[in-house]
Amino acid sequence: MNRRFDIRLLQRYVLLEVLRSFGVCFVVLTVVLFSVSSMKLIHKGLNVIQLRGALLASGLSFFPYLIPFAFMTGLVMAFGRLSADNEILAMRAIGVHLGRLLPPVIACGLVLSAAAFLLNAWVIPGFQRKLETLEVDIFRGFLSRLQSLPTRIISFPAYDLYVGDVEGQRCYNIIAFQVRGHRVCEILRADAMDIELQPERGGIQLQLTNCHVITPAGQPPKYLRQAFFGSLRRYVDMAFKAPKVQIDPEQASFGELLRMAENIEGSLAAYPGLLCRPKKVLRTMNREEDALLIEFNRKRRERQRAKEVMQVEDHRLRRFEYRAQSVQEEMKRSGATPELKETLEKAKARAEEARDALKEGQDVIAALSADLMKINEQRVLIYARMQQAQLQRQAIDVLAEIHKRFALAVAPLVLSLVAVPLGVAVTRKGFLTALGVSFAFALFAYYPLSLLGDMLSRYTRGEGAVFLWLPNGFALAVGVVLLVRMFRR
């Protein structure tokens, strides 16, 4: 009974040490993360009142990645201190197996996994939508703020935009310039600029009129002007991003993901089989659709020309038939002279030629019409395959997002199996040592495999979502090997 009480007391001591180390790591990493997020949000033009709500939404989106890393760092820090102070050696000396220290660690990992799943499944999507709504409100107040300033300068990451006057959603006397170091490299002047919010494209659109580019070296080539416009549009989209009309799987709650998956599965039930690599199929279908559209237009132009030729031939046929009829009437009145007989034969021959041409034209038009029908049938099949490929891509994205959220939730539990033997083997205490060990494992092993699994899951068929479990599988294998080696020591 006494031995059992000592083990429980020891487990409680280890749990408190782990929680304290995890709290320190989590607070330090959260402060750094929120500092970086606040700088980005301030650069977007948020004031102090708006920053309070946007900072929480922006920072929470990183918590599913921050919690596993902070928990691993805390475990390495806690067990590294125990090993450096010879407490692990003392536990072994009194006959305590190190496996008895794992239950509090696993329990803490389970709690953090459940918290990470709840955050990633329901809490974070709602905050991200609030952040997008806040950014749209910032954009709508953008023009009103410009109207109250005597000198209107809009700063972007690489460009500054000067607005001379504002009337409604139209700005006048625009000067955009790019500064590199202390030197102005490009200057763009425009008489007017229209700003339009486009939620369906996820940004805003700038329409400049009567604009030209000035550089210190003289008039630039055309591609420089196009590159300047493209860069300016990109930075504007980054500064003021509007929400999308459709729900993004990454910003949907877990219940919405399940409903999306059910709806897509019901839509896919109308199509036979599954497509291999739907993204590649979609690109191929787009090329085939473009080729068929070109062929369809060519055939349609040929049929139109054939109809025009038939109209000409029909006019000739009527003219020669009327001429032959006139010659026959003349022959009845004045008699059949050799000249009238020759004229009648020529008119009948010309009429027969026109009749043959009409028949050939009808055959050509019938053949072209049949070809057009076949092309339309092929286009319908291609359109169906394109719809199937798009639905299948959406199904892959939704399924990958579901697996990704479960994989991120399991990450604290799996990384704890790696952190405990690493902390025992480090034999050095300190936050920087634990941070270096955890950062090395995460940077060179876990997160590269996570990116690889995400890429493989989106470029394969539906069962490719299992690749998202690749980093957890690798961490589990490494943790089991390290734990076995630690227990055998």
Query: Which comes out higher in pLDDT, residue 222 or 78?
Result: 78
pLDDT at 198: 55
Angle at 271 between CA 266 and CA 272, to 5 degrees: 125
What distance in Å separates the CA atoms of residue 157 and residue 414, rounded to the nearest whole number? 39
pLDDT band at 238 (very low <50, low <70, confident <90, very high): very low
319 with 424, same domain: the answer is no
Where does residue 267 rank: exposed (0-12), middle (13-18), buried (19+ CB within 10 A)? middle
Neighbouring C-alpha atoms within 13 Å toward the C-beta of 252? 21
Query: What DSSP string describes 73-103?
Result: HHHHHHHHHHHHTTHHHHHHHTT--GGGGHH
- Model confidence pLDDT, tens digit, residues 203-216: 556 677 777 665 54
306 with 216, same domain: the answer is no
Number of folded domains that form the chain: 3
137 with 192, same domain: the answer is no
pLDDT for residue 148 is more than 70? no
pLDDT band at 128 (very low <50, low <70, confident <90, very high): confident
pLDDT at 180: 55
Decide which of 370, 395, 420 is a domain's last residue.
395
In a domain, 152, yes or no: yes
- Which residues, in sequence order, are bridge partners of residue 211? 190
Instruction: Please give the average per-residue pLDDT across 385-389, as a whole number.
Output: 79
Residues 6+ apart with CB under 8 A from 258: 402
What distance in Å separates the CA atoms of residue 418 and residue 237, rounded to the nearest whole number? 41
What distance in Å separates the CA atoms of residue 420 and residue 99, rounded to the nearest whole number? 10
Residues 6+ apart with CB under 8 A from 88: 79, 82, 98, 424
What distance in Å separates the CA atoms of residue 146 and residue 183, rounded to the nearest whole number? 26
pLDDT for residue 145 is more than 60? no
Residues 6+ apart with CB under 8 A from 62: 33, 37
- Model confidence pLDDT, tens digit, residues 448-484: 898 888 888 876 655 677 889 999 999 999 999 999 9
52 with 151, same domain: the answer is no
Residue 445: which domain range?
2-141+402-488
pLDDT for residue 149 is more than 60? no
pLDDT at 406: 92
What distance in Å separates the CA atoms of residue 72 and residue 447, rounded to the nearest whole number? 14
Query: Which comes out higher in pLDDT, residue 106 or 217?
Result: 106
pLDDT band at 256 (very low <50, low <70, confident <90, very high): confident
pLDDT band at 72 (very low <50, low <70, confident <90, very high): very high
Query: Which comes out higher in pLDDT, residue 94 or 186?
Result: 94
Helices (H) and strands (E) in the chain, counts: 14, 5
Decide which of 182, 217, 239 is a domain's last residue.
239
pLDDT at 71: 94
154 with 137, same domain: the answer is no
| Rama region for 427: left / alpha / beta (φ>0; ψ in -120 to 50; rest) | left
User: How many Cβ atoms are within 10 Å of 425's Cβ, its own excluded?
Assistant: 17
CA distances from 65 to 112, 266, 277, 442, 476 (A): 12, 33, 29, 11, 17
Handedness of CA 261, 267, 270, 274 (dihedral sign): negative
pLDDT for residue 153 is more than 60? no
pLDDT at 275: 66
Instruction: Please give the average per-residue pLDDT across 390-414, as a whole number.
Output: 88
Instruction: Please give the average per-residue pLDDT across 415-429, as a whole number.
Output: 86
Query: Which comes out higher in pLDDT, residue 89 or 57?
Result: 89
Q: What tokens does 298 get?
A: 């060519």
Q: What tokens does 292 get?
A: 């068929």
pLDDT for residue 106 is more than 90? yes
In a domain, 321, yes or no: yes
Residue percentage of the chain with pLDDT more than 70: 72
118 with 72, same domain: the answer is yes
pLDDT at 426: 81
In a domain, 266, yes or no: no
Give the CATH number of the domain where residue 284 resides: 1.10.287.1490
User: How many Cβ atoms are within 10 Å of 269's Cβ, its own excluded?
Assistant: 8
pLDDT band at 155 (very low <50, low <70, confident <90, very high): very low
pLDDT for residue 413 is more than 90? yes
User: How many Cβ atoms are within 10 Å of 215's Cβ, its own excluded?
Assistant: 15
130 with 12, same domain: the answer is yes
**Which one-letter amino acid corresponds to residue 367?**
A
- Model confidence pLDDT, tens digit, residues 317-347: 888 888 788 878 877 777 767 777 777 788 8
291 with 344, same domain: the answer is yes
In a domain, 270, yes or no: no
- Tell me which range, 55-69, 146-160, 299-313, 412-426, is most confidently predicted by mean pLDDT: 412-426
pLDDT band at 350 (very low <50, low <70, confident <90, very high): confident
In a domain, 366, yes or no: yes
Q: What share of the chain is helix, strand, coil (3-state, %, to 5)?
A: 75, 10, 15
6 with 137, same domain: the answer is yes
pLDDT at 274: 65
Q: What tokens does 378 get?
A: 């092929």
In a domain, 192, yes or no: yes
Query: Are the C-beta atoms of residues 446 and 474 closer than 8 Å to each other?
Result: yes
For residue 410, give the nearest of 473, 479, 457 by alpha carbon: 473
pLDDT for residue 115 is more than 50? yes
pLDDT band at 4 (very low <50, low <70, confident <90, very high): very low
294 with 356, same domain: the answer is yes
Decide which of 178, 213, 239 is a domain's last residue.
239
Query: Are the C-beta atoms of residues 325 and 341 closer than 8 Å to each other?
Result: no
pLDDT at 244: 38
What distance in Å separates the CA atoms of residue 452 and residue 447, rounded to the nearest whole number? 8
424 with 354, same domain: the answer is no
Q: What is the CA radius of gyration of the chain?
A: 37
H/E run at residue 191: strand 183-198
In a domain, 255, yes or no: no
Strand ordering across the sheet containing 170-180: 152-155, 159-167, 170-180, 183-198, 203-214
178 with 231, same domain: the answer is yes
In a domain, 267, yes or no: no
Mean of the per-residue pLDDT values for the chain? 76
pLDDT for residue 217 is more than 60? no
Query: Which comes out higher in pLDDT, residue 212 or 190?
Result: 190
pLDDT at 47: 64
